[in-house]
């Protein structure tokens, strides 16, 4: 058995793929779940290979018990409220989970005097309002958040730096740009479009894809590439130093409209209409998030292997199976 790894948010999108990778590396994997609240769909294929612990990361006592019991070599802290839209209605809850939950882990590591490496993945959403003359985004680009979710992630990142400088914790700070693929909830852009196409193909929805903002531009990375990058980051990045992660080649920049058009071409339906629906439009948008990840590449030699076609093919196939099998 290799290293001991603790994954918070293991039942989620990235967490489940990170668990796959950790098991491939012959690690002992501890996974946190929220009693009967966590959905296990993403992780059921490896349920019996994980040591499960019930924990509420917003509860300091619960977190201390987990850290004392597991004393892991590595923590991938992926538990978070990450869907942007509800953050306007529930900003305090987002702060409780994304900021206070992180502090609870840091405090436990500090109190037990552990040298565990912990990865704190930030979000490109933290940059918010970016102008064309500031592209591509670097580690030094000014943060102008435009939603409460982004503010909570900035707070999480800044307190990470404080705990490195003050208590010498081994905290690895990264800021990840858009990553997609199978198992991501269909409240997010690409899986939402793929889910609708799958329903249209099954005759469960009229041939109309409902959207929010679709002119926003992004560089997309496959989730399997992203978790490989996270592993390289926790092994190679100096504690406290920020690194951006994501696909940054110019040919990999797409608007959401282009993504929808590519998905439609991959569908089994001849004609599908694209229609904006006001209920899917955020109060404020982030029109462009395009990162320069050369610093991380130079350190680790990482680059994304899977292209946009692989992202869309894998995502569409996942939602086709989901709809066909009524896998709710």
- pLDDT tens-digit map of 211-231: 998 999 999 999 999 999 999
Residue 198 and residue 154 in one domain:
no
pLDDT tens string 105-162: 999 999 999 999 999 999 999 999 999 999 999 999 999 999 999 999 999 999 999 9
Domain at 192, CATH number: 3.90.25.10
> Degrees (nearest 5) of the Cα angle 267, 268, 271?
80
Which pLDDT value is given to residue 287? Answer: 86
Whether residue 73 is contained in a domain is answered as: yes
Q: How far apart, in whole angstroms, are the C-alpha atoms of residue 253 and residue 248?
A: 8
Query: How many domains, the chain?
Result: 2
Q: Residue 23 in contact with residue 45, Cβ under 8 Å?
A: no
Residue 30 and residue 8 in one domain:
yes
| Least reliable range by pLDDT among 53-67, 119-133, 134-148, 273-287 | 273-287
Looking at every residue in the chain, the average pLDDT score rounds to 95
Residue 16 and residue 142 in one domain:
yes
Structure-block tokens of residue 14: 């990235």
Whether residue 98 is contained in a domain is answered as: yes
Which pLDDT value is given to residue 166? Answer: 98
Question: Containing domain of residue 170, as a range?
Answer: 4-179+221-245
Residue 114 and residue 192 in one domain:
no
Please tell me the number of Cα atoms within 13 Å of 74 on its side-chain side.
Answer: 24
Residue 207 and residue 96 in one domain:
no
Which pLDDT value is given to residue 251? Answer: 56
Q: What is the rounded end-to-end Cα distance, in angstroms, of the chain?
A: 34
> Degrees (nearest 5) of the Cα angle 293, 247, 209?
140
């Amino acid at each position: 058995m290799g290293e001991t790894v603790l994954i918070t948010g293991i039942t989620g999108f990235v967490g489940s793929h990170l668990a796959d990778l950790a098991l491939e590396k012959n690690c002992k994997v501890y996974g946190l779940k929220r009693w009967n609240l966590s959905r296990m769909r993403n992780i059921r294929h490896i349920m019996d290979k994980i040591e499960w612990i019930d924990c509420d990361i917003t509860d300091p006592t619960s977190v201390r018990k987990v850290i004392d019991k597991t004393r892991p070599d590595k923590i991938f802290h992926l538990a978070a409220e990450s869907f942007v839209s509800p953050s306007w209605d529930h900003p305090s809850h987002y702060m409780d989970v994304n900021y206070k939950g992180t502090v609870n882990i840091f405090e436990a590591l500090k109190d037990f005097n552990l040298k565990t490496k912990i990865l704190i993945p930030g979000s490109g959403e933290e940059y918010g309002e970016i102008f064309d003359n500031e592209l591509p985004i670097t580690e030094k680009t000014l943060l102008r958040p435009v939603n409460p979710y982004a503010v909570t992630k900035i707070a999480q990142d800044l307190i990470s730096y404080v705990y490195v400088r003050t208590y010498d914790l081994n905290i690895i700070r990264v800021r990840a740009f858009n990553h997609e693929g199978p198992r991501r909830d269909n409240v997010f852009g690409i899986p939402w479009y793929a889910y609708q196409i799958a329903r249209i193909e099954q005759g469960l929805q009229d041939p109309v894809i409902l959207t929010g903002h679709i002119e926003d531009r992004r560089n997309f990375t496959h989730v399997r590439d992203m978790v490989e990058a996270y592993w390289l980051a926790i092994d190679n990045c100096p504690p406290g130093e920020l690194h951006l992660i994501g696909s940054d080649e110019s040919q990999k920049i797409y608007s959401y409209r282009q993504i929808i058009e590519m998905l439609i071409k991959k569908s089994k339906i001849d004609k599908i209409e694209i229609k904006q629906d006001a209920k899917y439009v955020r109060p404020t948008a982030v029109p462009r998030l395009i990162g320069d990840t050369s610093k991380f590449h130079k350190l680790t030699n990482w680059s994304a292997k899977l292209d946009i076609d692989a992202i869309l093919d894998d995502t569409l196939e996942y939602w086709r199976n989901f709809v066909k099998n009524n896998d709710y």
